[in-house]
């Protein structure tokens, strides 16, 4: 999975020493249980780590084992997921728990291919679980790690193509400390290597980083024309969040969370800036994703409820 490290030993040791000095305190970092780590990684996707940590404590109290989660109803899981957004992640996690029970005897698999075969588990989550729970020397690349490694190697966050970046991330992992290394790179990205105004002065990688120090020596692979991606393309300003399809989906699920188990809810009005036609489109999409049940017997009233198994 990884070859000789492209980073000098002094760089890796400096980063690991910085992490050992204390960075972010997150509750899910106190465990090596593969199931608990899988839950935390599902929650931390596109969610602030501190908020994910608070939700993780509550969720693990309600679903302490993969078997208990697999035996829960989707409605229970969606209610426990409140406040995290991207509700499909909750259903994917519930489905993954079912497959872990059925296919792997209730034990989270350690092989990357097996992990990636689970619903909602992509290359990042699979590598994070493999490194943090099983000690495998693989590099988990999230947005923070992508930014840190990209700036160290090329001076910019978005130059390396995904495949080249993944090879770099895998090769950079210290074989004997993959978990600490994973957390260290994530913490540098979250606390120092900000997207717009990186705080380079206290960064442990500063001496080797081409962004902070353009004269830094060769520390890793160079970007080639085949690896380059557009980094200066003009982007349109994002639409106001309340006008987005994701906002509407979230509000629909929130309404259903407030209803008692099994009770049908009628959605026959607009929601926010979305008219009834948009509500119907969003509702049917949520039904296709397994996030709600739609009563087709009364489609004109959009009678829906949380799935109850």
* 116 is an active site residue: no
Structure tokens at 162: 């995904």
Q: pTM of the prediction?
A: 0.79
Query: How many Cα atoms occupy the beta-carbon half-sphere of 71 within 13 Å?
Result: 8
Domain with residues 1-233, CATH architecture: Orthogonal Bundle (1.10)
Please tell me the distance from the alpha carbon of residue 251 to that of residue 289, in angstroms, as a whole number.
Answer: 16
pLDDT score recorded for residue 229? 44
Structure tokens at 116: 């990636």
pLDDT score recorded for residue 233? 39
Q: Any idea where the domains of the chain sit in the sequence?
A: 1-233, 241-305
pLDDT tens string, the chain, 309 residues long: the values are 555 677 889 999 999 999 998 778 899 999 999 999 999 999 998 788 889 999 999 999 999 999 999 999 999 999 999 888 888 999 999 999 999 999 999 999 999 999 999 999 999 999 999 999 999 999 999 999 999 999 999 898 888 889 999 999 999 999 999 999 999 999 999 999 999 899 999 999 999 999 998 876 544 444 433 344 434 333 445 567 777 878 888 888 888 888 888 888 888 788 888 888 888 888 888 888 888 888 888 766 788 888 876
- Helix (H) or strand (E) holding 133, with range, is helix 123-134
Please tell me the distance from the alpha carbon of residue 2 to that of residue 106, in angstroms, as a whole number.
Answer: 29
- Helix (H) or strand (E) holding 265, with range, is strand 265-266
pLDDT score recorded for residue 122? 94
- Helix (H) or strand (E) holding 293, with range, is strand 293-294
Helices (H) and strands (E) in the chain, counts: 13, 3
pLDDT score recorded for residue 220? 42
DSSP string, 31-88: ---HHHHHHHHHHHTTS-HHHHHHHHHHHHHH--SHHHHHTS-HHHHHHHTTTS--TH
First CA to last CA distance, the chain = 40
Please tell me the distance from the alpha carbon of residue 135 to that of residue 186, in angstroms, as a whole number.
Answer: 17
Marked catalytic residue, from 41, 218, 263, 280:
41
Burial class (CB in 10 A: 0-12, 13-18, 19+), 165: buried
């Amino acid at each position: 999975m990884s070859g000789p490290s492209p980073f000098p030993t002094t760089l890796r040791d400096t980063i690991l020493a910085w992490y050992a000095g204390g960075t972010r305190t997150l509750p899910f970092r106190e465990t090596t249980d593969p199931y608990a780590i899988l839950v935390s990684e599902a929650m931390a996707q596109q969610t602030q780590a501190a908020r994910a940590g608070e939700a993780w404590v509550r969720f693990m109290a309600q679903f302490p084992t993969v078997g208990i989660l697999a035996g829960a109803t989707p409605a229970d899981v969606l209610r426990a997921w409140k406040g995290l957004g991207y509700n499909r992640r909750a259903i994917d996690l519930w489905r993954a728990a079912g497959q872990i029970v059925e296919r792997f005897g209730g034990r989270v698999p350690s092989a990357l291919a097996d992990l990636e075969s689970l619903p909602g588990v992509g290359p990042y989550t699979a590598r994070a679980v493999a490194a943090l729970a099983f000690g495998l020397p693989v590099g988990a690349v999230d947005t923070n790690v992508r930014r840190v490694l990209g700036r160290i190697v090329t001076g910019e966050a978005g130059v390396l193509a995904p495949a080249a970046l993944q090879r770099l991330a895998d090769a950079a992992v210290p074989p004997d400390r993959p978990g600490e290394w994973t957390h260290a790179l994530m913490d540098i990205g979250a606390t120092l290597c900000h997207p717009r105004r990186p705080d380079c002065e206290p960064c442990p990688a500063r001496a080797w980083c081409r962004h902070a120090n353009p004269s830094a020596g060769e520390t890793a692979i160079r970007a080639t024309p085949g690896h380059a991606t557009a980094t200066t393309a003009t982007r349109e300003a994002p639409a106001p969040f309340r006008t987005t399809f994701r906002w509407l989906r979230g509000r629909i699920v929130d309404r259903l969370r407030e209803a008692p188990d099994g009770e049908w809810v009628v959605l026959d009005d607009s929601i926010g800036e979305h008219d009834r036609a948009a509500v119907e489109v969003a509702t049917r999409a949520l039904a296709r994703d397994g996030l709600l049940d739609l009563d087709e017997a009364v489609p004109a009233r959009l009678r829906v409820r949380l799935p109850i198994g």
